[in-house]
Amino acid sequence: MTDSPADKIISLDRFTIGYQKGSALLSQLNLTVNRGEMVALIGRNGTGKSTLLKSMIGLLAPLKGVCMLDGKPFSEYTLPERARRVSFVSSQLTQLPSLTVGELVGLGRMPYTGWMGRLTPEDRVLIQQALEEVQMGSFIERRLECLSDGERQRAMIARAFVQDTPLMVLDEPTAFLDIPNTYELIRLLSRFRDGGRSIVYSTHDLETAMQCADKMWVIHEDKILEGAPEDLGLSGLFNELFSTSGISYDEQTGRFLFSGTQKGSVCLEGDRDEPLIWTRNALERLGYSIEKGADRKINVESSPGGVSWILQKEGGSMRFENLYSLSRFLIQE
Amino acid sequence: MRIRSRSLFIIYFLGLLLIALFLLDIRLGSISITFSDMMGHLLGRSELSDQQLVILTKFRLPRVATALMAGAALPVCGLQMQTLFRNPLAGPYVLGISSGASFGAAVVVLGAGATGIVATWSLAIAAWLGAGTVMLLLLFVSYRIKDVMTILILGIMFSSGLAAIISIMQYFSQASALKSFVIWSMGSLGNVTGAQLTIMVWAILPLLLITLAYSKVLNGLMLGEEYAQTMGIRIQRTRLIIFATTSILAGTITAFCGPIGFIGIAVPHMARFLLNRSDHRVLMPASMLTGMVVMVFSDIVSRLPGTERILPINAVTSLIGIPVVIWLVIMNRKAQSL
């Protein structure tokens, strides 16, 4: 089954991008974004993620090909028309103006306000709603200088949200965020998607993208592979992608592993699942593989008093009260 | 909203201060003309003497009017440059725009030695061309080089280069032309005659209205040109309008008053500090108002009340503006914001 053309909000046709003719970063791209879909653009640093997003929304001119927005070439829309269809959040914001959060978010209403930019009561309601959407409802009078990185990024996203466009494009929105803030932000974008908007965002964080994106665009060499995260996982792409970087992708668990040196194998036994999973993580981190019947055996004992680990090898057994002391012993061994 | 009422209060306060300074500036001098004298004359209750009337209409009013126009126009140039280049140190003086205008004026005064009505127009046109040329160079460079520091350094280089050429021209010029150029370069609000005043009014007032109408667009530019475009701002047209208005405003003031330093760069910061806001819809009129207050105040100071001497206006504005810029550079280490 294929998507009907009316479902497509963006479709790239033989799109070629780069800064100069003759040295295209990515060429002959044929990609689509459907309505109400969240697309994660994945690629390593310097592979052209920003260039692609900016070329797509007309901030840079493509070298070849067209980007169709709602079935019409992007270049045929005037700037004010574009501003009502696509909003953008940039990765870099080194210098922020001295505005309040409310004023910043209010800028998002620019495509709708008159020549003096006066906000109507309806605009003010939208601004307040957008701030509540990003959990910053009480921040309207705060100044941008006084915000944390995560709050600042959320405020920028609220600005894009009040622009009220069917498509939101975000360039590395999580680049400067810690893990909780990253998840918070991705959850926010998923909520926007559930509200019917289409989202395209770039990131190098494959793991969070795998958990939330409807579709991934993965930059590999000079091509972009398109598909559901699981389709790409199934194709073995991720192992290929990270083959040079000392990271391997475990296709069974969907997790990334540092492929350090292998130290040997361990047989792991125990009666409760949770301690077993964490023990397995610790052993894999140290470079041990888990195999039934290996010489070295670790028994995870759960008792009401807590969990303890018994290491059995030739010449006796040792007991450890936590995973840290077990791993210290294994390293020194 | 608290912020709004504060802005409104400050704007009213500046307005009242401006009226008070205006009346003081008119009153000061060897022949006193008070507010009640003027009101009496206007209402027909009493008459100003012929001498008073001549001084008022030929000297003091044109002088204050010039101060008001320079005070409104130069901060607009500075504010537009600061927002466009996203650099708090941008201004017509720093970027070499005033030097471009000076060069144009130097060509007319030193090179052609023109006088009379021809000189008035040619001075204005030469200053516009000079300012516009520097602006075009900056525009061209800023397309290719995104780094604002580089553009500022280039502006400083342009102005130093032009200053060098002007000094060569001065070296080879006639003594009388040299004297009038040196006096011009010290800056004066009092040399603007009837015809020049007309040109100034026609060149400046419409442009001030245009820049006020562009406040919304300038707000969009605060986040940078990429964001501005995604919010529907036609960036090429906007740049062109900002560059054209800045060249003509700075060029006109420089042509007729000489290079007036530091008003363009310092006043927008004073207004930002007073209002604690960056919204151009308030900041733009507030900068004009603050600029007018500062210029009329500088004019009063330059006339050294109680003496017969007059200081060059350029020296006074510099002494007022420089501490603001120093404060800015030092504060800027903590909070880099516009």
**pLDDT at res. A259:** 60
pLDDT, tens digit, for every residue of A31-82?
A: 999 999 999 999 888 888 999 999 999 988 899 999 999 989 999 999 999 9
Query: In 3D, which of B220, B231, B217 has the Cα closest to residue A86?
Result: B231
Using a 10 angstrom Cβ sphere, with 0-12 exposed, 13-18 middle and 19 or more buried, the burial of residue B307 is exposed
- Span B162-178, average pLDDT: 88
CATH number of A264-332: 3.30.160.150
**pLDDT at res. A254:** 60
**pLDDT at res. A258:** 63
pLDDT, tens digit, for every residue of A266-294?
A: 888 888 888 888 888 888 888 888 888 88
Q: Which residue of A has its CA nearest to B236?
A: A79
Q: Does 3.40.50.300 match the CATH number of domain A5-249?
A: yes
Return left, alpha or beta for A71; rule: phi > 0 is left, psi -120 to 50 is alpha, else beta: left
**pLDDT at res. A255:** 64
Q: Which residues pair with A198 in a beta bridge?
A: A167
User: Per the CB < 8 Å rule, is B231 touching A82?
Assistant: no
pLDDT, tens digit, for every residue of B79-97?
A: 999 998 888 888 888 888 8
Q: Which residue of A has its CA nearest to B338?
A: A97
pLDDT for residue B117 is more than 70:
no
CA of B205, closest CA in chain A: separation in Å?
Answer: 19
Q: What is the mean pLDDT of chain B?
A: 86
Residue A284 vs residue B161, higher pLDDT: B161
**Positive or negative torsion for Cα B15, B19, B24, B26:** positive
pLDDT for residue A2 is more than 60:
no
Report chain A residues whose CB lies below 8 A from the CB of B220: 107, 110
Cα(B293)–Cα(A315) distance, rounded to whole angstroms?
92
pLDDT for residue A196 is more than 70:
yes
Q: Which residue of B has its CA nearest to A56?
A: B230
pTM (two decimals): 0.82
User: Per the CB < 8 Å rule, is A87 touching B219?
Assistant: no
pLDDT for residue A127 is more than 90:
yes
Cα(A66)–Cα(A83) distance, rounded to whole angstroms?
19
pLDDT, tens digit, for every residue of A99-126?
A: 889 999 999 999 998 878 888 999 999 9
Query: In 3D, which of A244, A214, A259, A258 has the Cα closest to residue A232?
Result: A214
Q: What is the mean pLDDT of chain A?
A: 86
pLDDT for residue B239 is more than 70:
yes
**pLDDT at res. B284:** 95
Predicted ipTM? 0.81
Q: Is A73 helix (H, G, I), strand (E, B) or coil?
A: strand
**pLDDT at res. B336:** 46
User: Per the CB < 8 Å rule, is A116 touching B229?
Assistant: no
Cα(B73)–Cα(B131) distance, rounded to whole angstroms?
14
pLDDT for residue B45 is more than 80:
no
Give the start-to-end residue ranges of the domains of chain A: 5-249, 264-332
pLDDT for residue A95 is more than 70:
no
Give the start-to-end residue ranges of the domains of chain B: 2-6+61-331
pLDDT for residue B335 is more than 70:
no
Same fold, A5-249 and A264-332: no
Of the candidates A95, A103, A111, the beta carbon closest to that of B232 is on A111
Task: Domain B2-6+61-331: give its CATH architecture.
Answer: Orthogonal Bundle (1.10)
User: Per the CB < 8 Å rule, is A111 touching B234?
Assistant: no
| Count of pairs with CB atoms under 8 A, one residue in A, one in B | 83
A interface toward B at CB cutoff 8 Å? 54, 57-59, 79-84, 86-88, 90, 93, 95-100, 103, 107-108, 110-111, 113, 115-117, 141, 144-145, 163
